[in-house]
Amino acid sequence: MTGRELLEADALRSFAVFAEHRNFTTAAAALHISQPALHVKIRKLATALDVELYEREGRRLSLTAAGERLAAYALDCRRRADEFLRELHHESTPTLTIAAGRGALRWVIGEAIRQVGRQGRRVNVITADRDAALAALRAGRADLAVIAHDPPTRQVEAVQIAAYQQVLVVDERHPLAERRAVRLRDLDGLDLVVPPADRPHRRALTRALLDAGVRWQVAAEVDGWDLLVHLAGLGVGATVVNGCVELPDGLRAVPIHGLPQIRYWATWRLPRAELVGDFLGQFPPVAERAPR
């Protein structure tokens, strides 16, 4: 029996593995026990807590709300056990796991990750959209999630870490390229490269253009700030992105009046507060940042 196993309740450790796999066969194999034995452990745990921990959806298993909370607690316990053992043996500082989208990782929190790394902290990254990042946070797979637009629910801790003005990206030869700023009505008639219809940025942009009476056409649909800018650079159409996005040669970013700032939030669960402190310390008080 390892030191880690001595620090964890057996049923809780087993449930943490089951929650990770959502499959009894796979989880039992990872735990090196039989599938019936794992069933018994989790059933006893559910009975002791007087809650249902999972439910079946056809052939799939999903955790209940209570199961999600227990899984996060179990992972917190495993993390604290790992940290204690590292400290006991004078090993390196714990790894920080961050869930965020590609654009946030590249242009919003990249420098913070660099600085935390220089302090000796290892960083793991989960590339995920808003919903997936928050799910990873709630399940305990991520220590910190970085999300855009609206703040998260009050079930987690959160702080705003950045705010960027939205900009119109056009070819440097475009008539709007030399403008110091544009208004929404100036986008009338443009072909725009936009995210897919279900993405938050696309929904918000569509509403704003509709409210302003702007006519526009979809030139292409791609997911991610980098691909939006890439297609704009290929001449497919103009695009609207965050002012933090770096542009290749030949493109111009023109601030848009009439669109809200895009705000970024760092969010974490209270048991991980100490772990994320160094990362949060890399961000100054929020102020609008000029386009690059």
Q: Which residue has the higher pLDDT, 284 or 93?
A: 284
Whole-angstrom distance, CA of residue 270 vs CA of residue 273:
5
Over residues 119-167, the pLDDT tens digits come to: 888 899 999 999 999 988 988 889 999 999 889 988 889 999 999 999 9
CATH number for the region 92-158+263-292 comes to: 3.40.190.10
Instruction: Give the pLDDT score at 19.
Output: 87
Question: 29-33, 43-47, 54-58, 89-93: which range is least confident on average?
Answer: 89-93
Instruction: Give the pLDDT score at 106.
Output: 93
Asked whether residue 279 carries a pLDDT value surpassing 80, the answer given is yes
Over residues 163-188, the pLDDT tens digits come to: 999 999 999 999 999 999 999 999 99
Domain with CATH 1.10.10.10 in the chain: 1-74
Asked whether residue 54 carries a pLDDT value surpassing 60, the answer given is yes
CATH top class, domain 166-260: alpha beta
Average pLDDT over residues 194-208: 93
pTM above 0.85, yes or no: no
**Token code pair at residue 184:** 């929404």
AA identity, residue 48: A
Asked whether residue 1 carries a pLDDT value surpassing 50, the answer given is no
Place of tokens 């939205």: 166
Domain with CATH 3.40.190.10 in the chain: 92-158+263-292, 166-260
Burial state string for 1-32 with b = 16 or more CB within 10 A and e = fewer than 16: eeeeeeebeebbbbbbbbbbeeebeebbeebe
**In CATH, which of 1.10.10.10, 3.40.50.720, 1.10.540.10, 3.40.50.2300 is domain 1-74?**
1.10.10.10
Asked whether residue 219 carries a pLDDT value surpassing 70, the answer given is yes
Asked whether residue 8 carries a pLDDT value surpassing 60, the answer given is no
DSSP state of 6: H
